[in-house]
Structure 1
Amino acid sequence: MRIDLHTHSVASDGTDTPAALVEAASAAGLDVVAITDHDTASGWVEAEEAARRTGIELVRGMEISTRHEGVGVHLLAYLPDPGHPALDEALSKILAGRNSRVPAMLERLRGLGIAIEASDVRRVAPGTAATGRPHVADALVDLGVVADRTEAFRRFLNPGRPAYVDRYAASLLETMDVVAQAGGVCVIAHPWGRHGPHEPDEATLAELTEAGLAGIEVDHQDHDAHDRERLRAIAGNLGLLVTGSSDYHGMGKRDHDLGCNTTAPEEYARLLELAAAAAQRSGRAAPGVVRP
């Protein structure tokens, strides 16, 4: 059984429609795929329809932008009720922060002599709920300023580069609580991929476990073999789920092919058990998985 629990569509910063993402997952030989767009559930309906057509099992989720002790943390929330008022409010604030960031980045790019407008971003990201740096990067590619997203981030959009602009991110602990209220389960995405190894460390992860964290994404392209071994040991010490995934973005991210990392079936079964318990505690009609 091949299970990929972290992918993105055009609802955020991927390049496949939700339907095309699910179809590609099926074609790649996956049995289960999760759609986890940034800060939105807007791709869920289309993905569900495609899953029923293709016969693949679909897990509905999202990757929420949070911050903990001044450090950005991406939180994978699986099977929450997106209609929960507190979750809806939290996501709306994050999306507003994403979208207000874009004009500031464009102004900085124009200050560097690059002729780029909001219409250029909209052209490469039609209908996207979570507009952000990847779409500005795509506009720069479309305008011929850079060759690809990687160059756009390296030259202009990464922290410390001339067009980088910080944005609002929700509190990690508060977001975990909101996801629990909405009947969902929380897993930290690529914990050592964004800020280097050992951050968050085991002590921090232990505190987060006490606060309700269910798992960590161990098998990810941003983690080398040593980091994976260490993270797997930490997960074992703390009783956390171990997940693996591609973090697929279509053409938007290299070397993240569907199924390049997968989650063990027994860990997936634990995730579903925790989700069922979370939904029962919350009293919410959590969405559940879409099964063939």
Structure 2
Amino acid sequence: MNHLNADLHCHSSVSDGTLSPEALAARAKANGVQLWALTDHDEVGGQQRAREAALALGLPYLTGTEISVTFAGETVHIVGLGFDPEDATLVEGLRRTRGGRELRAREMADDLARAGIPGAYEGALKYVGNPDLISRTHFARYLVEIGVCRDTQEVFRNYLTEGRPGYVPHRWATLGDAVRWITGAGGIAVIAHPGRYKFTANEEYALFSEFKEHGGRGVEVVTGSHSSQDYVKYADAAREFGLLASRGSDFHSPCESHTDLGALPPLAGHLSPVWAALEDRIHRPA
């Protein structure tokens, strides 16, 4: 069960990925993925397309999303898996979360213009599949296009991060909101890539503790941005907090992502995989 090649975290052009849900399904299948979820940011608009494409390819599918929350002054991502994508409370919560992005994007563009880079809002829009979900990634692609930086990594070293031109913080949902929306829709909430957050040990302990108190049940142990040390650290955290373990590449684009769909090492054998608890929520080919 732990050696199942499950990839339960990736993004399509419905949020900030570059491939369509259908192209991602085909890539997942070609790469040997055995259980797949599309987890677009604050959005479930690609779910039906992803599910239909996966099932047509004989690939089992779990519904997914990745919700942005603010915790201890940081943006934290909570993945939801196996929920009803038509649940009214979840859909409305995601709509409200997306709603703040356009205003933030316009403020980012104004700040970049003051730094001598005009037209960034219109430039970023060219890369957006869904204007509600304009994000820093779309601005980064535009800055690469016009030659300000060589690649998106260089953009994030010099722009769009705290203390640099173009950075505008966003107030997201709360941790409790995100977990309740997911669990209320019949799914399981998972802390995404905990190794990426700049938390102290005490702040990280508070995140895990509060997440559990709200009803969160899982944590990504093996994910594209984690090191081998992170795999061990968050396997231990999963055991310590009694959380299910998840696995996902966080794939966005063939050109930008370090880890391809289906290319991660398996979960350690002593962990309880999140998909075992979602067996009855997996959509399987007829």
TM-score under structure 1 length normalisation: 0.88
Q: Is the CA contact 1:245–1:261 (under 8 Å) kept in the aligned structure 2?
A: yes
| 1:282 alignment partner in structure 2 | none
**Contact map agreement 1:98 1:131 (CA 8 A) in 2:** yes
Superposition pairs for residues 176-191 of structure 1, below 5 Å?
176-191=179-194
CA–CA distance in 2 between the matches of 1:113 and 1:56? 48
Measure the CA separation in 2 of the matches of 1:131 and 1:252.
Answer: 19
Deviates more, 1:192-201 or 1:238-247: 192-201
Identity %: 34
The superposition leaves residues 137-165 of structure 1 with CA deviations (integer Å, 9 ceiling, x where unpaired) of 11112222222211121111112211100
Residue deviations 1:25-58, cap 9 Å, x none? 0111111111000000111122122112211112
Cα distance in 1 between the residues matched to 2:202 and 2:138 = 28
Q: Trace 1:3-152 onto structure 2 (pairs within 5 A).
A: 3-127=6-130, 129-152=132-155
Where structure 2 has 5 or more consecutive residues not aligned to the other structure, the ranges are none
Could you tell me how far 1:200 is from its partner in structure 2?
A: 4.5
Aligned residues: 279
TM-aligned CA distance change 1:95 to 1:203, over 3 Å: closer
Displacement of 1:229 in angstroms is 1.4
Aligned mates of 1:199, 1:132 — CA distance in 2: 30
**How far is 1:197 from its partner?**
6.8
CA distance in 1, matches of 2:134, 2:239: 37
Shift of 1:105: 0.8
Q: What does 1:242-257 align with in structure 2 at a 5 Å threshold?
A: 242-251=245-254, 253-257=256-260
Distance (whole Å) between structure 2 residues aligned to residue 245 and residue 199 of structure 1: 26
Residues 81 and 183 in structure 1, CA contact (< 8 A), matched pair in contact too: yes
Tell me the residue number matched to 2:284.
Answer: 291
Compute the displacement of 1:110 (Å).
1.0
Contact 2:60 2:284 in 1 (8 A): yes
- Matched residue SS, 2:69: strand
Match of 1:281 in 2: none
- What's 2:230 paired with? 227
- Whether contact under 8 Å (1:4, 1:33) holds in the other structure is yes
Deviation at 1:272, TM superposition (A): 0.4
Q: Distance in 2 between matches of 1:260 and 1:159?
A: 32
CA contact (8 A) 1:95 1:130 kept: yes
| Structure-2 separation of matches of 1:175 and 1:254 | 26
Helix, strand or coil at the partner of 1:121: helix
Report the CA distance between 1:88 and its aligned residue: 2.0
Query: By how many angstroms is 1:202 displaced?
Result: 3.6
Residue 109 of structure 1: how far off its partner (Å): 0.9
| Equivalent position amino acid for 1:63 in 2 | E
The unaligned stretches of length 5 or more in structure 1 are: 277-287
Check conservation: 1:52, 1:291, Cα contact below 8 A: yes
* CA deviation profile, 1:78-115 (whole Å, cap 9, x unmatched): 12223333222221121111222111111111111113
1: CA distance between counterparts of 2:247 and 2:108? 33
1:56 aligned counterpart, secondary structure: coil
Range moving further from structure 2, 221-230 or 98-107: 221-230
Report if the CA contact (8 A) 1:51-1:290 is conserved: no
RMSD (Å) for aligned C-alpha atoms = 2.1
1:9 touches 1:15 (CA, 8 Å); kept in 2?
yes
Distance 1:252 1:35 in 2: 18
Cα distance change, pair 148–6 in 1 and its aligned pair in 2 (3 A)? same
Q: Distance in 2 between matches of 1:181 and 1:90?
A: 12
